[in-house]
Chain A
């Protein structure tokens, strides 16, 4: 569905380096990383909003630049900022989109509006963030996009709207032919529904693969201060010492069984991000 191969971009101060991942059809991939890690840059390169320094991107087997017109028809985009003119009414926004897509299905668009409870006469600028996202989703469904790319769709949404969105995304991929790539820093959203995770740290891919693999690769380690041997210290990411002990993150390849006095437990994606980010701060 989507193949990203060794893309990079040099902004001087910030570099996106050698980013590669692969999203097969029928699955959801979460793109995670701290603010400024390169998530939006990566998505913008895929969509050819900005030029890449090097690398290849193909969508449904077609190069994203050579076959841009073809590729864009297959993609639905939900970006953080609203792409519509705020003064437009919802119906007008739909009409504007219909011009770009020869496979636009007005019937589907109207069905999605009523499913989402979107009032066609309301002005786009008056919609809540969640409603604007839904409008963009309605457009994606109306031109039958095979790949949905969403940049931070859940930021600024309340928990019920987030839950509803995730359910929509699961519905979207249910037939096994469509995929979703979305960036977020609300990782609780991904914990369960994302099949794949690509974790970008400082412009590089730290991990890409099945979500479960990321969670299984690491363990949170906790123990008393006296349990922290020199050998162990070297294996811990983002070590935090406190009065009654220490905690940190270890790879199961480095620490496979509980060292004396310590406990190992499965961490959440959030925790994995927190400890690895803490390591970056202390470099």
Chain B
């Protein structure tokens, strides 16, 4: 697992950890049932407080990316989990909301925005 924290980022440390683990789960870099470093190990490795890693892990757990087993640590959840899917959909909705806002500012119609989106999806 790779986690690289930036001190210059405006994103809080726990958010940085969350977004990197989330991305690793989505890309398959972290596989289903893989064990994550313990809260205290991660805190020590990254030189951050235990409460910070705890917040990152517990939020990832709530979002369905990882799960904890009493006394055994944290595991990666299967990719198709219902919770994770909902979370991802919310993410798409949020980004689209931002895009819609930007489109409004630029004076684009919904039709034009949809056209742009189609183009981007095709390129990908």
Contacts and interface: CB of A to CB of B under 8 A. Distances in A.
B14 A192 contact: no
A192 B10 contact: no
Interface residues on A, range: 20 to 34
A171 B44 CA distance: 7
B50 A192 contact: no
B40 A193 contact: no
A173 B41 CA distance: 11
A244 B49 CA distance: 38
Interface string B29-48: 00000000000110110011
A212 interface: yes
B51 A27 contact: yes
A27 B50 CA distance: 7
Contacts, number: 46
Contacts of B44: 167, 170-171, 174
Interface residues on B, range: 10 to 19
A195 B51 contact: yes
B10 A266 contact: yes
Nearest to A166: B47
A28 B12 CA distance: 20
B49 A195 contact: yes
B55 interface: yes
A212 B55 contact: yes
B49 A176 contact: no
Closest 3 CB pairs of A and B: A195-B51, A195-B49, A170-B44
Interface of B: 10, 12-14, 40-41, 43-44, 47-52, 55
